[in-house]
Amino acid sequence: MKKGKGKQGPSEKAILAALSTVEDPELRRDIVSLGMIRDLKISGGKVAFRFVLTTPACPLRDELQRRAEEAVRSVPGVESVDVKMDAEVRTHSRPSGPRPVQGVRNVIAVASNKGGVGKSTVALNLAVALAKHGARVGLLDADFTGPNIPTMVGIEHGYQAETGLAPVTRYGVSVVSIGFLLKPGAALIWRGPLIGSGIRQLLHELDWAADGELDYLVVDLPPGTSDAPLSMAQEALIAGVAIVTTPQSVSLEDATKAVMMFGKLNVPVFGIIENMSYFLCPHCGQRTDIFGHGGASAAAEKLGLAFLGEIPLDAQVQTSTDQGVPIVERDPDSPVAQVFMRIAENIAARVSVQRFSEEEANK
């Protein structure tokens, strides 16, 4: 660690040249020209810098760090490398079309062709997983037909009936649900035009950035291809949508319908998630494909969409949401929580690629 006597350390140019051999595989560009290397300091043989990724949920984070360290170490004269991993989530550059949500960099919608497929479970665990990665995250329960996020985060329905709706922090996520305002059952009366104005208010009239701008706002949409997803797409700029299916309910026809609808509305589809995809025995760890898993990945492939992941049917998922603590929070190391973490990374990576392509196109 000692400085060589009078020996010159490596030059900044040499370090940057070495780092520029490292490419971000998602953005397909070297990390130096992507502006990811900041605060480079060289003192003697000691090299330190900040490596700023486009998302804290980067699936290649460790790999990129390792490669950057290796590249720097290969430069003659380098004695030590100190990399500080960091992230800055970008927002839309020159947005056109629907109004961006103030204080939110990227809106990620979670949709499904049918109810009961685990859309809310996925939306909640996705939001908590992104927060665990270090992102600033919000969760909007926009399922006017049956808001079940309150129960899933352990908050009573109607909890804000007197005070008015405002985000509540749970498990590191700013949560809003129409259920905070309404007693159970009351939500069922929402219809067409009301849903449109309700969604507009939730998105544009709440203070999402009270604790700083959100990197991601995850929105739990009502099931199907009803008014709500339509209103949502017209009312706010959406980065993209993840479609949740189960092996039983997924038919190519259903998935195609949802994809076509979002396509018509100019909302990008990030891909398909298969929930309750297979059964993982809690005793022996053996996997059983009870519902003939794999339908969603086949559908995704036929539609030219990404397959974002498959979530096992796991009793822990159900009990933990019933108890108001999502599995990603309760047992982050469990196999199913790890699946949610990977799905969150996949989606965050897609958002990053999207923002990058947009910036390139606007250049």
Q: Residues in the site for ligand ADP, rule: CB under 6 A?
A: 112, 115-121, 148, 223, 275-276, 311, 313-314, 317-318, 321
DSSP 222: P
Asked if 139 and 176 touch (Cβ cutoff 8 Å), the reply is: yes
Q: Which is nearer to ligand ADP, 231 or 334 (CB)?
A: 334
Choose one: 21-29, 50-58, 119-127, 193-201; the region binding Mg ion (CB under 5 A). 119-127
Is 120 an interacting residue with respect to Mg ion (CB under 5 A)?
A: yes
In whole angstroms, how close is the CB of 74 to ligand ADP at the nearest point? 45
Amino acid letter, residue 128: V
Give the per-residue contact string, 148-167, with Mg ion (x = CB under 5 A; - = no): x-------------------
Cβ atoms < 10 Å from Cβ of 197: 11
64 makes contact, choosing from ligand ADP, Mg ion, none, with CB < 5 to 8 Å by partner type, with none
Least Å distance between CB 338 and ligand ADP?
Answer: 13
Residue with Cβ nearer ligand ADP (240 or 326): 326
Q: Which residue, 58 or 221, is less far from ligand ADP as judged by CB?
A: 221
Choosing among Mg ion, ligand ADP, none, which partner's interface includes residue 321 (Cβ < 5 to 8 Å by kind)?
A: ligand ADP
SS3 category, 138: strand
Distance CA 178, CA 130 (A): 22
In terms of residues, how long is the chain?
363
CB of 178 to Mg ion, least distance (A): 12
The whole-angstrom separation of Cα 180 and Cα 178 is: 5
Rounded Cα–Cα distance for residues 339 and 129 (Å): 10
**Count of residues interacting with Mg ion (CB under 5 A):** 2
- C-beta of residue 334 within 8 angstroms of C-beta of residue 340: no
Structure-derived torsion over alpha carbons of residues 119, 124, 126, 127, reported in degrees to the nearest 10: 140
Look up tokens 């339509």; give the residue: 230
125 touches Mg ion by CB under 5 A: no
Q: What are the residues binding Mg ion (CB under 5 A)?
A: 120, 148
